[in-house]
Structure 1
């Protein structure tokens, strides 16, 4: 099910038999770091694990250097997921680049390492 508006669910087949670390990596690749954290916090709150939700919010906010969002029992932000700062893929994989909106003028550096 869609946990946050604009964040389509990852197909179950892509998560089957995945370790916790692989699941976190898949979420970060799919949604970007910030949205993956917001989704996790929302799920933790829905299953009433409030202490861990608050701890994750505080820890993430401290890492990125911005204040934690005020806590609420029903977090359902409608912002689309943020694009990750860097993308990588295994040999033979495909990367679908994020869509850029807003200020798209100026210089862009794209590096492709083989």
Structure 2
């Protein structure tokens, strides 16, 4: 699968290009929020904790945005009856397996 840098507009209006290469972002960038870390850097690591196992893993802001869509969709009350929410989760899980399999295993499997 082809991987390339992802370019997005940060909340401060600055255009950011990732240091890492990824497959195509699974969602519309305009529909997601890519957050910065506590130091205000947009391409540094963020620590995420699996709410079920307690294990943690460090993600880039782009990876964290995909993770947030996955988890947010799963917590929606109508998740089990919504094909769109289920498709959003599936696209995110597939993206994680292609781009950061270890994070997938720790946080999402």
Normalised by the size of structure 2, how large is the TM-score? 0.30
- Of structures 1 and 2, the larger Rg is shown by 1
Relative CO higher for 1 or 2, CA cutoff 8 Å, sep ≥ 6?
Answer: 1
Instruction: Give 1 or 2: higher strand fraction.
Output: 2
